Amino acid sequence: MSHAMSVKHNYLKTNNINNGEDIFRKFLNHLVINIIFILMHDLRLSMDKHELPFIQDMFESIAHRYDLLNRTLSLKQDIMWRNKLVQTLDLSGNENILDVASGTGDVALSICQQYPSVHIHCIDFSFNMLRLANQKIKASPHTLINTACADAFDLPYPSEYFHAATMAFGIRNVVNKQKLLRTLYHHLVPGGQLLILELTLPEIIVLQNLYLLYFKKLLPMIGRMISKNSFAYDYLPNSVISFPPSLDFSKMMKASGFKGVKWLPMTGGICTLFVGSRAD
């Protein structure tokens, strides 16, 4: 065999091995995701840390592309969804607000545009997300926003401290949703609002089928091109599909003590705003 043929043969052999490793790695990713969801939903897994550990790592890894991905994958609808959350707040102007799973700070900044004198406390378990939030906050004129890397189940604040609590696109990643709702209830003042924004499945079957086609096929492909994290965008569709129907989630809120619970589907039902308040 000539030297050129030997080099080509070794290259093809190595390339085949690499392709095989890539296929095996993707297979393992999908296998892990499926096992996790079986444990979460068939066995009703309860975890001491309440969050699946890989979710924190996932958000740490995609933080630098998070805003771009939000705008791209939602076709900029996420801006309208957050604005609707802010419009639904009932504030006088100088209250304490808690923003859970604050991410890169978009909800907090949107609230401050409408209510510049409120005090907002942002918490998230991703340091990289909060680092970006701090950069955006420093570049803004708002000086009453604080950030903390904290556990939503063990908040570093007294009970009955907040006049409102917000959470955007985070509660579907929480295993024990009921416990989190009760924790937030505990930290709200009587009459304080809870506003939760979450991705949901459209109830109209035709829209649901089109949405699932986009969500399962196109979204992961776009996400991989932008973030290079295939695991995150395989997980995302599953997390939305597994989120309780709006009626069921509203019952969770009521069971946690919230009154006046209602929900508003937006953009054909692909995002829903849930609102309730602590009993007086």
Same domain, 154 and 120: yes
Q: Residue 269 maps to which CATH number?
A: 3.40.50.150
In contact, 93 and 163? CB cutoff 8 Å: no
Domain end (from 45, 60, 78): 45
> 78 and 26 share a domain?
no
Verify that 112 and 239 share a domain, yes or no.
yes
Indicate the residue among 45, 60, 79 that finishes a domain. 45
> What CA–CA distance (Å, rounded) separates 246 from 261?
11
Statement to judge: residues 253 and 198 lie in one domain: yes
For residue range 221-243, list pLDDT tens digits in order: 766 666 555 565 667 777 888 89
Domains in the chain: how many in total? 2
**What is the domain range of residue 230?**
46-278
Statement to judge: residues 63 and 73 lie in one domain = yes
Same structural domain, 37 and 172? no
> Taking 80 as the threshold, does the pLDDT of residue 20 lie above it?
no
* pLDDT tens per residue, range 107-140: 999 999 999 999 999 999 888 889 999 999 999 9
Mean pLDDT over 29-57 rounds to 44
- Are 1 and 77 part of one and the same domain? no
Residues 142 and 140: their CA atoms lie apart, in Å, by 5
Q: Which residues contact 93 (CB under 8 A, 6 or more apart)?
A: 115, 117, 118
Residues 144 and 254 in one domain: yes
- Per-residue pLDDT tens over the stretch 246-276: 999 999 999 999 999 999 999 999 999 999 9
Check whether residue 52 and residue 41 sit in a common domain: no
pTM confidence score: 0.75
**What's the mean per-residue pLDDT of the chain?**
80
In a shared domain, residues 95 and 179: yes
- Based on the fold, state whether residues 64 and 40 are members of the same structural domain: no
What ranges in the chain are assigned the alpha helix state H? 3-41, 53-62, 66-73, 77-88, 106-114, 127-138, 177-187, 205-213, 219-227, 230-241, 246-255
Nearest to 151 by CA among 179, 132, 131: 179
User: Which of 27, 45, 63 delimits the end of a domain?
Assistant: 45
81 and 20 together in one domain: no
Of the two residues 130 and 212, the one the predictor is more confident about is 130
35-50: average pLDDT: 37
Q: What is the largest CA-CA distance in the chain?
A: 86
